[in-house]
Structure 1
Amino acid sequence: MSWAVLVISGVLEAVWAAALDRSEGFSRPLPSVVFGIALAGSMGGLAYAMRELPLGTSYAVWVGIGAVLAVAYAMITGAESVSVLKVLFLAMIVGGVVGLKALH
């Protein structure tokens, strides 16, 4: 159960990062509210998962999922350029997350 919550929390990390960008310094209400809700859910889920999983593994997986999804979202929306090297490095992060899961 902790792993599932951790993955969902990582997804919510990407959601709050994207909402923070769209909030334009908290001047837009809807993205600002999405940011707050996703942030609370993400942190709460991380805290829940850390009751059973080690700190280092939990944090690395949480950040890795959030970072990969945030960059992927930015590339899909055109806010960030796509390159073979970027995709390769994102795949390396995913490989690290999978490796940490496999070791636990």
Structure 2
Amino acid sequence: MDMKFKTTKEYKKLKRDFIKNIFWLNLICFFGHIINLFILSFFIYISILSYDKDFPHFVLAIIMSVFAFIIFIFIIIYYIKIILECKVDFDVEKEKWNN
């Protein structure tokens, strides 16, 4: 069901703010993923280099790779959580403007 606003200007402002929030969230998450993937690939590279030479460094690199992968998963979960919160805020503001 589509809501009726008092003016279309109110709806456009509300929608513009929502899109702006989603844009900044996408930008931050994109750079977070790029940095995390760089760290993950660096630790995998270090683990490959130290496989035969130094076993403790190999184990440390594997552990750090696992941590980087877990952080990558948490970034995705946090991104979805924030998207849903922005959608709820948008719906609440829509209701407030409508009444």
Which structure would you say has the larger Rg? 2
Q: Which has the higher contact order (CA 8 A, sep 6+)?
A: 2
Q: TM-score, normalised by structure 2?
A: 0.40
Q: TM-score, normalised by structure 1?
A: 0.38
